[in-house]
Structure 1
Amino acid sequence: MKYMIYGATGYTGELIAKEASAQGQQPLLAGRNPEKVAAMAKELGLAHKSFALESVSQIAAELADVDLVIHCAGPFELTAEIMMKACIESKTHYLDITGELDIFELAFSFHEQAKAAGVVLCPGVGFDVIPTDCVAAQLKAKMPDATHLQLGFDSRSRMSRGTAKTSARRIGEGGAVRKNGKITNVPLAYKSKKIDFGGGEKLAMTIPWGDVSTAYHSTGIGNIEVFIPASPKLVSRMRKMNWFRWLFRMEFMKNWLMKKIDAQPAGPKDEERAKYYTWVWGEARNAKGDVETMRKQVLNGYTLTAKGAVTMAKHVLTTEHEGGFSTPSKLYGADLVEQFLYTPEAE
């Protein structure tokens, strides 16, 4: 079975490629820059190819002998659709590491086409959204009649440039929650509350995280919100931005933000990732007011993404699947997160 890591020279793509190599696997490395892809392939002793994402037929031809792609080249709002369509055409399983809400819903819209082709479409096989998705599924198992679900995470690790770009491009759209089964656009910092994610109580605010899509598909719970810690100052600033966030829908503003982000470091260094683990939290509630709460201490998000993507690729390639859209917890099982719990020796 042959699989490809596309976008292997980006910060997270490189982590995935190195994790796969460390596990004795030999994925095909690919990306848009021939020199960078060749240099990484030489360093890891792996095969490589380079191609741009120009047309569905062109990409499908490049994937003709590839069984699975781990797509790492974001922002995914610009690259995921064409890669998904090419994977369906070439009958190549598709995984990615997105956290973009719209991309999960896009993949879901291709469910029937992918199922007919026998192709698995499973976005979010990294920190976005393995741990939160598994917590959601485990809470659903503990409370089958849950009507409301809140999820969140607390990480002190810096963002990579790719994650920062994704977040920045979304600002103009505001926040998002799920109400009565429907994804609903809401203001930035729509809700705030104090939450003990696992390391003590903190003020937190809602964000338009991927679980607003995936947790619904994994659990069927119709009301979903996702939170991260935020200082009172940040909550206030985000709420003030609602008055002029329309500006951030303009391409010139997006380009300005992208240039500022490009000046930042690629992502957290190895020692930072080893030091800063993540707390993941979830709370389910039913119509009677009963509550189930769950907390898990997991690896740093980028380390988890590298290990999670490789684990999911191995699983898809060695297990029978009927194809179509899926979430990590549905595809692998809600116990997937248990492989990525943090211990001092885990990194």
Structure 2
Amino acid sequence: MALRWLIYGANGYSGKLIARKAVARGYHPVLAGRNATEIEHIAGALALQHRVFGLTDPSVVKAQLHDVDLVINCAGPFSQTAAPLIQACISTSTHYLDITGEIDVFEYAHSQSEAAQKAGIVLCPGVGFDVIPTDCLAARLYAQMPDATHLALGFDSASRMSRGTAKTSIERLGHGGAARIDGMVSNVPLAWKERRIDFGHGVKSAMTIPWGDVATAFYTTSIPNIEVYIPAPPKLIKRLRRVNWLRWLFKSRWVQKQLKAKVDQRSSAGPDEDARKANPTYIWGEVKNKRGDTKSMRFKIKNGYTVTAEGAVEVALYILQHEALPGGYYTPSRLCGAKLLDQFIEH
């Protein structure tokens, strides 16, 4: 019998990309989400089965997953959708994937590793651009320097954010930045550190951000100190550091609602195919040990949203084709190997 997999949040920007990529490869996942009109539309366009359900009632979620072997959660913010889906997946012995970049979600999924192991299922959040490329890069750097004590990762892309990614970034503003310090995820100020980095096409000023690798790269490498950077002009860095004094304001529900409303006013949910092809991503990483020795790597890869569409399908198929995988929490590179990065590299 063919294994059944389900894409939840299939009506979102990334959910649609993943569904189309699955169909292009000859597969027929079930599409699901809360918005009946939109789910029915995309399912009809792709000639796929669909289901409509929310996540507030655990019994409903379990009933919808009882005959499903694997779920890809594409419905953000994942701080609201990951936990109910993970708990339902543990109850129904359904593998769980998502495309989150939210540190708290990675930490929660890791805390459920023992339960997943008993259920015989894989929990592998972050099977999109967040965090496949940088996770695989971290694994490769660790292989070259197993005694590393510090890991810095970063990426550079001119691609516009999708609505979902922009809203998640807004939610994080009030909490500031994050880094892993001496093995623990720690809250730090916005633009906590700055340095100049060549991500792959010239040296740029860069700042730290609260990216998912702060959580996942530790489970991949065991390196206790981890920071993630993106390019940022010095003026922006200064502005963000001033925002640190007003972070409490960005926690306000009213402010959050206003900022998210502006995101919803965009004419498109995310970059179109031409924009994705025209805007590749550059990833960079560096490890350092106690002696001060360093090693670095950088790669030019496909656009982040293309990586998300291809990566989520690739990891789903890997799990469905490897029935004997031990249950538990995984990072993408721990599950599929650091070679997973190779299919996204542009030459």
- Give the TM-score of the pair, scaled to structure 1: 0.98
Please say if 1:295 is aligned against 2:298: yes
- Alignment partners' CA distance in 2, 1:200 and 1:245: 32
Between stretches 47-56 and 293-302, larger displacement belongs to 47-56
* Residue 339 of structure 1: aligned partner: 343
Structure 2 letter corresponding to 1:336: L
- Alignment partners' CA distance in 2, 1:72 and 1:39: 17
Which SS does the other structure have where 1:70 is aligned? Answer: strand
* Matches for 1:228-307 after TM superposition, within 5 Å: 228-264=230-266, 265-307=268-310
Structure 2 letter corresponding to 1:29: L
Which SS does the other structure have where 1:246 is aligned? Answer: helix
* Residue 144 of structure 1: aligned partner: 146
Please say if 1:194 is aligned against 2:196: yes
The count of aligned residue pairs is 343
- Alignment partners' CA distance in 2, 1:203 and 1:77: 31
Q: C-alpha deviations, 1:213-252, integer Å up to 9, x for none?
A: 0000000000000000001111011100000111111212
Which SS does the other structure have where 2:174 is aligned? Answer: helix
* Matches for 1:1-347 after TM superposition, within 5 Å: 1-264=3-266, 265-319=268-322, 320-343=324-347
Structure 1 letter corresponding to 2:335: L
Give unpaired runs (5+ residues) of structure 1: none
Structure 1 letter corresponding to 2:332: P
- Alignment partners' CA distance in 2, 1:60 and 1:274: 39
- Alignment partners' CA distance in 1, 2:263 and 2:111: 31
Which SS does the other structure have where 2:91 is aligned? Answer: helix
- Alignment partners' CA distance in 2, 1:56 and 1:117: 17
- 1:78 to partner: Cα distance: 1.3
Q: Which runs of 4+ in 1 moved over 6 A?
A: none
Q: C-alpha deviations, 1:185-239, integer Å up to 9, x for none?
A: 1000000010000010000000000000000000000000000000111101110
Q: C-alpha deviations, 1:20-44, integer Å up to 9, x for none?
A: 0000000001111111111111111
- Alignment partners' CA distance in 1, 2:58 and 2:201: 46
- Alignment partners' CA distance in 1, 2:161 and 2:295: 30
- Alignment partners' CA distance in 1, 2:251 and 2:112: 26
- Alignment partners' CA distance in 2, 1:132 and 1:8: 25
- Alignment partners' CA distance in 2, 1:308 and 1:266: 20
Percent of counterpart pairs with the same letter?
A: 56
Which SS does the other structure have where 1:159 is aligned? Answer: coil
Tell me the C-alpha RMSD between the 2 structures: 0.7
- 1:57 to partner: Cα distance: 2.0
- Alignment partners' CA distance in 1, 2:65 and 2:41: 21
- 1:260 to partner: Cα distance: 1.1
Structure 2 letter corresponding to 1:268: P
